[in-house]
Amino acid sequence: MTGVKIVGVGHYVPERVIDNFELEKWFDTSDEWITTRTGMKRRHWASENEATSDLALAAARKALADANLDPTDVDAFIVCTVYPDYLFPATACIVASKLGAPNKAAFDMEIACSGFIYGLTVASSLVRSGVYKRILLIGAETLSKLVNPEDRGTAILFGDGAGAVVLEASEEDSFLGSELGADGSKPQLLLVEAGGSRHPIDELALEEKTDRIHMEGREVFKFAVTKMIEATDSALAKANLTKADVDVLIPHQANKRIIDAAMKYLEMPSDKCVINIEEYGNTSAASIPIALSEAVGDGRVKPGDTIVFVGFGGGLSWGAVAWKWQ
């Protein structure tokens, strides 16, 4: 086995900013409600012409530039997304071709908001086992296009964006431990019901908006706090580390109250936690790599830091990765 490290990071968000006051014009809601219940102030929404691959491409280019690499230096491209350009082909195939790196391995991973955590575990394993030397791993979403415009409970939560990392084989190993889990017994808690093989889209689906995100927020909230704590503890235990060893926590940005509750239980001071939910809302599989890219850019993540990435989402699913920044 070899080691793995991240040699480049980058992120991209669409130009169009939707603040809470704008949402007040469309929904029976308020800046005060959204801020106190979620911590969100703004989110960026893709234009009609921007698809998930466009955001992924922009983030990928930045990560490659940061790594000082050409796209052809990369052996495999992985896009974690819940809302690809098409049901198939995979968005990663489109991104790799547009980057000018055709004929390489390219595939998508779909495990909702846990996508980047699962993706980081899979991509790291492919590098550590020697299958590939370099992998470009991207989390990219355009969930503003998938929300139910009649449901104020979910439509206000999601933003669009993409974050990317370049993973490379390394003598020292950044990957310290991972915990992944899923429970598919209650898909109704968080799902898009129509559009798959069980319920292809028909007139009733369009009328009842079952082709859009449905979420039972309170249930997901309780699950999220519990699983963020358990997954962090397990990933650290697998890495032979404790909470006290963590320099930076980078959680999925779904709700500031969820993050605060988890931080409190984990007894982590808030300055150890990267939170940008105020600016971007919930960008699903993109939220962790966007937060990482920002934190590396402004020096909150430094060489030698022990990081825990932790997320949860549809599935229901969850996961955490303990990582040494080199």
For the question of residue 252 being annotated catalytic, the response is yes
Interaction pattern, residues 238-267, with ligand ACO; x per rule: CB under 6 A: ----------------xx--x---------
Q: Which tokens is 43 given?
A: 């989110």
Task: Decide: is 195 part of the binding site for ligand ACO (CB under 6 A).
Answer: no
Closest CB to ligand ACO among residues 166, 215 = 215
Supply angle C-alpha 111, 71, 57, rounded to 5: 50
> Whole-angstrom Cα distance, residue 188 to residue 184?
9
**Interacting residue with ligand ACO among 156, 229, 246, 321 (CB under 6 A):** 156
Closest CB to ligand ACO among residues 218, 302 = 218
Closest CB to ligand ACO among residues 89, 153 = 153
Nearest distance, CB of residue 69 and ligand ACO, angstroms: 31
Closest CB to ligand ACO among residues 80, 190 = 190
**Interacting residue with ligand ACO among 190, 231, 295, 320 (CB under 6 A):** 190
> Whole-angstrom Cα distance, residue 248 to residue 252?
13
Nearest distance, CB of residue 115 and ligand ACO, angstroms: 9
Task: Decide: is 313 part of the binding site for ligand ACO (CB under 6 A).
Answer: yes
Interaction pattern, residues 196-235, with ligand ACO; x per rule: CB under 6 A: ---------------------xx-xx--x-----------
For the question of residue 93 being annotated catalytic, the response is no
For the question of residue 113 being annotated catalytic, the response is yes
HEC-encoded secondary structure of the chain = CCEEEEEEEEEECCCCEEEHHHHHHHCCCCHHHHHHHHCCCEEECCCCCCCHHHHHHHHHHHHHHHHCCCHHHCCEEEEECCCCCCCCCCHHHHHHHHHCCCCCEEEEECCHHHHHHHHHHHHHHHHHCCCCCEEEEEEEEEHHHCCCCCCHHHHCCECEEEEEEEEEEECCCCEEEEEEEECCCCHHHEECCECECCCCCCHHHHHHCCCCCEECHHHHHHHHHHHHHHHHHHHHHHCCCCHHHCCEEEECCCCHHHHHHHHHHCCCCHHHECCCHHHHCECHHHHHHHHHHHHHHCCCCCCCCEEEEEEEECCCEEEEEEEECC
Nearest distance, CB of residue 218 and ligand ACO, angstroms: 5
Task: Decide: is 42 part of the binding site for ligand ACO (CB under 6 A).
Answer: no
Count residues near ligand ACO (CB under 6 A): 24
Q: Which part of the chain contacts ligand ACO (CB under 6 A), choosing from 95-103, 149-157, 159-167, 263-271?
A: 149-157
Closest CB to ligand ACO among residues 196, 297 = 196
- Please identify which of the residues 113, 148, 255, 273 carries the catalytic annotation: 113
How many whole angstroms from its chain centre is CA 169? Answer: 23
Nearest distance, CB of residue 193 and ligand ACO, angstroms: 14
Q: What are the catalytic residues?
A: 113, 252, 282
Return residues touching ligand ACO (CB under 6 A): 27, 29, 33, 37-38, 82, 112-113, 152-153, 156, 190, 217-218, 220-221, 224, 254-255, 258, 282, 284, 313-314
